[in-house]
Amino acid sequence: MLDFSLLYKFDKDMYYLPSEQEPILSADIGFFIGGNFVWCYDCGASEQAYNCLKQIDNINIVISHFHNDHTGNMLRLTNTNEYYVGNYTYKHFNKGIVVDNDLYVEDKGLVHIFGLPNSHSKGSLAMEVNEKYVFIGDTSYGKRLNGHIVYNAQLLLEQYRKLSAIKADLCLQSHEMNNAVEKSMILAKFEKILSKRKKDEPNIIL
């Protein structure tokens, strides 16, 4: 069993493994130790992430989206009880339970898995824990295109409304999981971006 004291702790029963840049890009992994399962957010792509996850018994992994830095170890791990994935991740890997509607699991704490519209990647999932923290993956970052950051205005508005509706007030972003950001700051960022939308333009280019 993994010694969680070797990871970074940010609250009771909650930890994270930092992201890596070399030798391969690998997203951070969030952990919530429930009563029956360890709930992980993403599985990374590095050997360090793989060696960490393979030591955990009774593990459920929520995949934020299908990009390799978040899913690289998905097909290597053999100890996973279940994967929870969005529809695009399922199309890429043909593996896991597709979460189409909000899913709530009581496991010595409340785990809430839900789809989060965004401009970065289709079919993204977020994971809210105990109505306090929400792992949002890369959903706040937008899409890189020709040297610009691009947001689809309609998706950004849907994302804004979805985040506003949940109770958690601290957001954990991939590649920056060491810094929990107040949800109000994320929403303010979205409001500022939406204010830049030009009439009849579907996208906002920064």
Residue 14's closest CA among 125, 118, 128, 121? 128
Could you give all domains of the chain from N- to C-terminal order, each with its CATH number?
4-196 (3.60.15.10)
The arrangement of strands across the sheet holding 203-205 comes to 143-145, 148-152, 203-205
Per DSSP, the three-state class of 90 is: helix
User: Model confidence over 164-205: pLDDT tens digits?
Assistant: 999 999 999 999 999 999 999 999 999 999 999 999 999 999
The pLDDT of residue 141 is above 90: yes
What value does the mean pLDDT take over residues 76-89?
97
pLDDT tens track for 90-130? 999 999 999 999 999 999 999 999 999 999 999 999 999 99
pLDDT digits (tens, 9 = 90+) for 5-30: 999 999 999 999 999 999 999 999 99
- What's residue 1's pLDDT? 85
**Counting beta carbons within 10 angstroms of the beta carbon of residue 7, is it exposed (0 to 12), middle (13 to 18) or buried (19 or more)?**
middle
